[in-house]
Each structure stands twice: as structure tokens, then as C-alpha cells.
Amino acid sequence: MNTNLTDGEVLELSALCSALIDGAITDPERARLEAWLGASEAAREYYVRAMALSASLCDYANEMQAEAPDLSTKVVRPAAWQWTIGTLAAAAALVLAFWFGAKELRRAPATALVEVESEDTVARLSGAKDVQWLGEVAKTGDELHRGQRVEIAAGIAEITFDSGARVTVEGPAALELTSAWEATLHHGTLRANVPAEAIGFRISNPEVDVVDLGTEFSMVADAKGGTEVYVIEGSVEVAPRDAGGREPLVLREKQARRFARSGVSEVADRDQKLDRFIRKISLDRLTRPVSYVRWSFDETDGRVVRAEKLGAARGSFDLQLSGDGARVEGRWQGALEFDGTFGGRVAFPGIDQRRARTAAFWVQAPARPQLPGSGPLLAWPLHTRDPRAVEVGWNRNPNQGPLGALRTRVGRGNFVGSTPVRDGRWHHVAVVYLPKQKSEATAQIKHYIDGRLDTVTWKHGGKKSAGEFAEIAATSEDTLWIGQGLGEGAERFQGQLDELFIADRALTPHEIRYLMTHNAPAPTEMLAAE
């Protein structure tokens, strides 16, 4: 990780990070750290890991204190730089890091820590025009998998990645999907439109790697072995494969370079070629209908929270609470506060069916909850050959990822995110559940935190007892549990919940972003015009 840092630089960088975490950093030290992170990738990698470690240690200390509230005579305190300032200060450090180093922090999702599975989807074909396919044929709206090669002889194909990046390839072209954050252009012409939530998206090539810094850019990989990169708007970081340890280049709006084995050079007729890439293209798109059930928590009737149906959903969907929840100011008007002692249930026809769906909501959870109040936010049964359940909650195991990161359990599988969100602040969360086709025992889970696809840092299976299967089987198959786990005796959630939407299919990154920013489903006409 630190091959480009000397021992002295590592010591200095560690001291600067410690001062930042302690809140004792001076203006000259902050300026030094900002300049260093802007110039050195090795320093940025060290910084990101130091901040992540600090956040995890903060939450771990909080968990340990919550587990032993009666030990009051003597407290052994860890080193001050590690966690004495608590989770909120660590979160503040990360916010500051985003201010002067966002482009590097956002690179992290490009490297997954789990084994890849070819059945995992990472993108979908969102548009096409006069496409002549080579090899596997795809239809507009089809999900595309990790490792899949999209190859066309002619026409235009638009691919929207789960990260939110949108890539258009013009035939003849071949593009290989590496992950939701990365693709490889083998040959052909490509244009990438990368919104803010997908900053860090990467296009690789035998000649050059391009990392987006919030922009639109184009690449042309020709038959001569050269690759040209054009920046339409914003900026990109480009690293020639034969750079020999040199720092990457940053190309800004209207700039271009050609990369080949012979070296890096200017692009002939740059302006004329840029004009070609700027032109608007009309594509054929497929808009898929979606139904929502929504609980705004703005109005309640005693222990009943009324639901709103959007689309073809059938049923009343009113939430029946088992206790009196406080109505508090939420992210959008009112919210419901769960104190860890009660939850609720909803009669939800078809919730147990093994089909794609999305749960999206605003949540504010305390940074230091007692463990009895750290139960799931949502749970519902899945009636397959072996009864299973889906539970959405928090990670409480530091060996499986950051404490306080989102954790979704599906049967014996657990999916843990990389972003701690149990910090006393409002966060928008979307959980996309996708059953896999080859086995009813498996599923793919996608977490979106504040509109951005979160990296899964831990994915594993465990063992369940026959008694637990029996409990799931005995639970009403058409019940959604809110503010608790599955069943009346399950753990309860402590925190505030606002604007819960359940959609009957997997929402796209743009639909999730729209839901977060507008508190309403994206209009069909907008999706068709994208």
C-alpha cells in the first residue's frame, strides 16, 4: 500500500491523520495534508484506511460499553487518537476528507473484497439504437452480469451501471463489465456520463486507465493499438500503462490525449472530434412499470400508521404498532421514533414471494444505542423449500466489516456494507433484493447509502437451527415487520424512520437518486427521456 512512501513520510502522515481525528489539526497542517493527498495516491490510500479504521474503532468501543453498562468502577481507556472523540468526530473527519479528497475516497468501490460471482448483475442495457450484436444478444432492459462481454458490430448500446455511471458504446466495439464501478474497453468508441454519486468510475484499456472525477468523457480504442481520451466536461485522471511509476495525468474539459506504446501525444483534429462526441443521440428505451407502498409517518391514528399506494398495489398496508412511538421531526415532515421496545407489522400480500423488490427509507440511528435497541429495521419471510427471512439492520461484528454499516441477512447469507451510517444523522438507504435464477437459496443484495452504491465488505453464510426455520414457517407469510426482526419476540430497532417506500421491482440507480432527492417516484416520462 505504501510502496511510494518513505518511513519518514509514513510517520508524518500518521501524525497528520491523528491530529485530524483528534480535532487538533492546525491550519498549516491541514494545508499540508490537503496538498499531500492531492498529489500522492499512496498518501490517499493510507488516509482512507486510517479514517476507516478510526471509524470502526469508535463504533467498536461504543458497542463494548453498551454490552457492559454495569461496570462502573474503573474504565480502561484506549489511546486518545483511536476513539475518544467518538463516532461523530470520525464521521466529521470523513466529511472533511470528502471536501478536499472526494475523488480518491470515491475510488474505493472499484475494488470489491468479496469473490466475484458471474451470476451477480452489475449493470443493465438501458438503451439501444440499430444494434447488430456479435455473440450474446441483449434486449433493452436486460440485466448484465459481472464479467459479461458486450460486443456489437454496429449501432449504439447504452449501459447503465449499478453505480449510476452511464456508458454508450458505438459499434464496432467490445466492452467487458468488470464490476459496477469498472469496465474494460477492448476496442471501439465509448462515451461515459458519470454523475456525482458515481465519481471514481473507471474504464480500463491495454494502453491507459481512466478514472472519472465527475465528468463526461469519451475513449476511442483503434485497430492500431492506440487509445484516445477526450474530456467533454469536468475532468478525468489518466494513467498510461507504461508510465513507469510516473504520476497520473489530469485532463480537463476540452482536453485530449492519445496513448500508445510509443508514448503520450496530442490528438490531431481534437476540436472536430470533440464536436462529434457532443452530439445528442436518440435511443430506444424500455420503461418498466413499478408499484410502491409508502409510509410517510406524517399522520398516524393511535398505533396505526396509514399507508399510501402508488401504482397497482392491492391491500390496505396500514402499519399496526405494538407500542406508542413518538412522532418527531423527520427528514421530510414527520417521522416515527422507535425506542427499542416496540415494533410493528403490516399485512403485505405477496411479500414472501421470491421476486425482486426495493426497500428505500430515511433513517437516523443513535451513534451509541444499547444492544437491545440494535435490532433490524425491516424483516419479511421468504417461503422457499426451506423457509427463510430477509432482515435489514446493522452490523455488530467488527470481524465482518465496519460497525454500524448496513447489514442485510437473507436466509443463511449476510451482506455487510462498508459505510458506517449509525452516527446520529439522517441517511437515505435503499436495499435492492434480487433473487438469483440458478438457486432459490441465493440472492444478490445491493445497498445504496445517500444515493451511492455501497461496497459489500463481507458476504458469508451461516447455520440455522431447525427451530429457527420452524419459527419462520409459523410466521404469517404475508407480513412485513417494521422496526423489528421477524416475529413478535424479535429484537427491536432504536432510532427514527421516515418515508419508507417498498417497490415491487429492483429500482435503477437513477430512480433511487430521484426518490431520495424528490421524495417521490421518478416520472415515467423522465425515465423514457433519459
* Model pLDDT, residue 461: 60
pLDDT, tens only, 484-519:
998 888 899 999 999 999 999 999 999 999 999 999
Greatest mean pLDDT range, 34-48, 149-163, 300-314: 149-163
Q: Is 299 exposed, middle or buried (0-12, 13-18, 19+ CB in 10 A)?
A: exposed
Q: Given this model, what pLDDT does residue 262 score?
A: 84
Tell me which of 278 and 58 has the higher pLDDT. 278
Percent of the chain at pLDDT exceeding 90 = 47
What is residue 372's predicted lDDT score, i.e. its pLDDT?
Answer: 56
Q: How far is CA 423 from CA 223, 333, 367, in A?
A: 52, 21, 4
Q: Which of 40-49, 181-190, 305-314, 411-420 has the highest mean pLDDT?
A: 181-190
Confidence band for 25, pLDDT divided at 50, 70 and 90 = confident
Distance of CA 363 to the CA centre of its chain: 16
Nearest to 365 by CA among 489, 456, 498, 458: 498
Asked if residue 467 has pLDDT above 70, the reply is no
pLDDT band at 468 (very low <50, low <70, confident <90, very high): low
Q: Which of 5-9, 160-164, 179-183, 270-274 is predicted least confidently?
A: 5-9
Is the pLDDT at 311 greater than 60? The verdict is yes
67: cell is: 454490552
* pLDDT for res 53: 57
> Who contacts 8 (Cβ-Cβ below 8 Å, separation ≥6)?
none
| Statement: residue 114 has pLDDT above 70 | no
Distance CA 90, CA 136 (A): 47
Average of pLDDT values for 453-468?
A: 65
Mean pLDDT (the chain) is 80
Instruction: Please determine, for residue 229, whether its predicted confidence score (pLDDT) is greater than 80.
Output: yes
Give the confidence band of 385 by pLDDT, cuts at 50, 70, 90.
low
